[in-house]
Amino acid sequence: MGKCNMQKTVDFIKETFKTNEFIPLHEPRFIGNEKKYLNDCIDSTFVSSVGKYVDTFEKEFAKIVGSKFAIATVNGTAALHISLLLAGVKRDDEVITQPLTFIATSNAISYLGAKPIFIDVDLDTMGLSPKSLKNFLETNCEVKENICINKTTGKTIKACVPMHTFGHPCKIEEIKKICDIWNIILVEDAAESLGSFYKNKHTGTFGKIGAFSFNGNKIITSGGGGVIVTDDEVLAKRAKHITTTAKIPHPYEYVHDEIAYNYRLPNINAALLVAQLEQLERFLVSKRELATKYKEFFSNLDINFIEEPKDSKSNYWLQAILLNDINQRNEFLEFSNKNGVMTRPIWRLMNELEMFKNCQKDDLKNAKYLEERVVNIPSSVIL
């Protein structure tokens, strides 16, 4: 990239964010009704897991993504955990996912005693590759009595969890078709993709179940929080039941009908979230404007800015560039972070982590390529 272009990039980012102070990768913005709703929530004393903001949020969220039901949870990892449990994933099952993702995806699979299988991503979407998925299944698997069996391990492949990396939708329609043929349940990790659409349908609504996150660095935040979406009423009811300790509704008695989880989103977090949801459109406009600016700037320097893939509309949650090789990447990370602009490499591949190094995988050629080259650059909403 050269020292001169690195300096130009740092200057451009400071100019764009209108500051000479340290620029973080992604800061939340509280510019709407956040304080008002939080005060109202405190005054009501309903700060815990029952309250009107949880209900309002669930209704509004379902409307926005176009799903029939939404069930709020304490965080996105919990949403994924319960989504996989509802998909029927059990101990010793296998779940296909991508190695290029945040750790939560593989953690959630592991909580159920299941094992991830890592399949390669596409270069244009950075999400699970339908071609690689199909190839893996045709080479290694067979369907017997409606169950997808991995011939190498003899185990059942129960679910598949693609992820929409940085908000860029993966080829989810093709992935769904393949999963249907192979009797694999599709669960979407849409943690990063609120406001992202594939062919005008919201991400997270293609599979049987989808999970979103509202962690502090996501496009909107409740401090910590998550949500499960589904069109299946039975699953939705079950999601609510097992995230609220499986308590049988009763005015004063505590009776529970199974071992379950305390995963409900507190009303005080939901109050913040309802206010944030009101700002979503504005945030999306700002992020798209920033992407346009970055694209123009980087094209003049002959550096690859990562744009939304074909057939999709991205939320541009985290902006990213693709550098030439790992040396250039390291140079740029070093220079920018030293000069007050926070940048970050894409995740270390899951199969390289100690806990997952023995998991089955394909060649992961594209994932490796991206791992060595993709860098996230400041992406906060500019006021």
Query: Where do contacts with ligand PLP occur on this chain (CB under 6 A)?
Result: 75-77, 80, 101-102, 104-105, 163, 189, 191-192, 213, 215, 226
Cβ closest to ligand PLP, residue 76 vs residue 210: 76
Q: Shortest approach of ligand PLP to residue 168 CB, angstroms?
A: 12
Contact 306, 322 (CB under 8 A): yes
Cβ closest to ligand PLP, residue 150 vs residue 165: 165
Q: Shortest approach of ligand PLP to residue 116 CB, angstroms?
A: 13
Cβ closest to ligand PLP, residue 6 vs residue 172: 172
Q: Shortest approach of ligand PLP to residue 343 CB, angstroms?
A: 17
Q: Shortest approach of ligand PLP to residue 104 CB, angstroms?
A: 3
Cβ closest to ligand PLP, residue 103 vs residue 143: 103
Distances (CA, A) of 279 to 33, 269, 383: 9, 16, 12
Cβ closest to ligand PLP, residue 104 vs residue 284: 104
Closest CA to 56 of 212, 276, 214: 276
Q: Shortest approach of ligand PLP to residue 40 CB, angstroms?
A: 25
* Residue 202 bridge partners (DSSP): 197
Q: Shortest approach of ligand PLP to residue 226 CB, angstroms?
A: 5
Q: Shortest approach of ligand PLP to residue 76 CB, angstroms?
A: 3
* Residue 96 bridge partners (DSSP): 117, 160
Cβ closest to ligand PLP, residue 57 vs residue 102: 102
Q: Shortest approach of ligand PLP to residue 137 CB, angstroms?
A: 23
Residue of minimal CB distance from ligand PLP? 76
Q: Shortest approach of ligand PLP to residue 61 CB, angstroms?
A: 15
Cβ closest to ligand PLP, residue 101 vs residue 243: 101
Cβ closest to ligand PLP, residue 150 vs residue 205: 205
Cβ closest to ligand PLP, residue 77 vs residue 267: 77
Cβ closest to ligand PLP, residue 41 vs residue 161: 161
Cα atoms in the 13 Å half-sphere on the side-chain side of 242: 17
> Whole-angstrom Cα distance, residue 151 to residue 149?
6
Q: Shortest approach of ligand PLP to residue 170 CB, angstroms?
A: 12
Closest CA to 168 of 224, 125, 231: 125
